[in-house]
Amino acid sequence: MRELTINIKVKKRIGVVFLFVLVLMVVIFLRLIWVQFVMGEDLREKAASARFRNVEVKAKRGVIYDAKGRPLAISVSTDSFYAIPAQVRKSEKAEETAEKLAAILGMDKAQLLELITKRQAFVWVKRHVPDEKAKEIKDLNLEGISFVEEPERFYPKGQLLAQVLGFAGIDNQGLAGLEVSYDKVLSGVSGTIMVEYDARGQEIPDALQKYIPPQDGNSIVLTIDETIQYIVERELDEIMKLRNPKRTGAIVIDPKTGRVLAMAARPAFDPNQYQNYDESYWRNFLISDSYEPGSTFKTVVLSGAMEEGVAKITDRFYCPGYVKVGKEIVKCWRHGNPHGSQSLLEGVQNSCNPVFSTIGLKEGKDVFFRYLYGFGFGKKTNIELPGEALGILVNKDKAMDIDLATMSIGQANAVTPIQLLTAFAAIANDGNLMKPQLVKEVRDKEGNVVKTVEPEKIRQVISKDTSRSVMSILETVVSAGTGRNAYVEGYRVGGKTGTAQKIIPGGGYSTSEYIGSFMGVAPVNDPQVVCLVVVDAPQGTYFGGQIAAPAFKNIVRDTLRYLQVPAQVEPEKLAENQVKSVVVPDVVAKEQNEAVRQLEKLKLTVDVVGNGTKIKVQLPVAGSQLPESGKVILYTSMPAQGDNPESVVVPDFTGKTVGEVQELARLLNLNFELQGSGVVVQQEPVPGDQVPVKSKIIVIMEPKSKSTLEPVGP
- Residues annotated as part of the active site: 295
Is the separation of the CB atoms in 522 and 493 below 8 Å? yes
| DSSP code string of 226-270 | HHHHHHHHHHHHHHHHHH--SEEEEEEE-TTT-BEEEEEEES---
> How far is the C-alpha of 682 from the C-alpha of 687, rounded, in Å?
10
Is the separation of the CB atoms in 645 and 615 below 8 Å? no
Q: What is the dihedral of CA 243, 229, 216, 58, to 10 degrees?
A: 0
All residues at 6 or more sequence positions from 91 whose CB lies less than 8 Å from its CB, including other chains? 97, 143, 144
DSSP state of 397: G
Q: Cite the beta strand spans of 509-652 per DSSP E.
A: 509-522, 529-536, 581-583, 605-609, 617-619, 625-627, 631-635, 647-649
| DSSP code string of 444-467 | -TTS-EEEE----EEEE-S-HHHH
* R_g of the chain, CA atoms, integer Å: 38
> How far is the C-alpha of 369 from the C-alpha of 372, rounded, in Å?
5
Is the separation of the CB atoms in 297 and 410 below 8 Å? yes
> How far is the C-alpha of 592 from the C-alpha of 504, rounded, in Å?
50
Q: How big is the chain, counted in residues? A: 714
Is the separation of the CB atoms in 624 and 599 below 8 Å? no
DSSP state of 631: E
Residue 280: CB atoms within 10 A of its CB come to 10
> Helix or strand or coil: residue 129?
strand
Residue 340: CB atoms within 10 A of its CB come to 12
Peptide bond into 523 cis (omega under 30): yes
> How far is the C-alpha of 191 from the C-alpha of 150, rounded, in Å?
10
Phi, psi of 587 (to 5 degrees): -115, 10
All residues at 6 or more sequence positions from 25 whose CB lies less than 8 Å from its CB, including other chains? none
> How far is the C-alpha of 115 from the C-alpha of 194, rounded, in Å?
19
Phi, psi of 565 (to 5 degrees): -75, 125
User: What angle do helix axes 131-140 and 94-105 make, rounded to 10 degrees?
Assistant: 160
All residues at 6 or more sequence positions from 322 whose CB lies less than 8 Å from its CB, including other chains? 329, 330, 331, 332, 335, 338, 354
Measure the CA angle with vertex 453, ends 451 and 454; round to 5°. 130
Kindly give the residue spans of alpha helices, DSSP state H, lying in 602-680. 658-668
> Helix or strand or coil: residue 74?
strand
> How far is the C-alpha of 47 from the C-alpha of 212, rounded, in Å?
19
User: What angle do helix axes 109-116 and 94-105 make, rounded to 10 degrees?
Assistant: 130
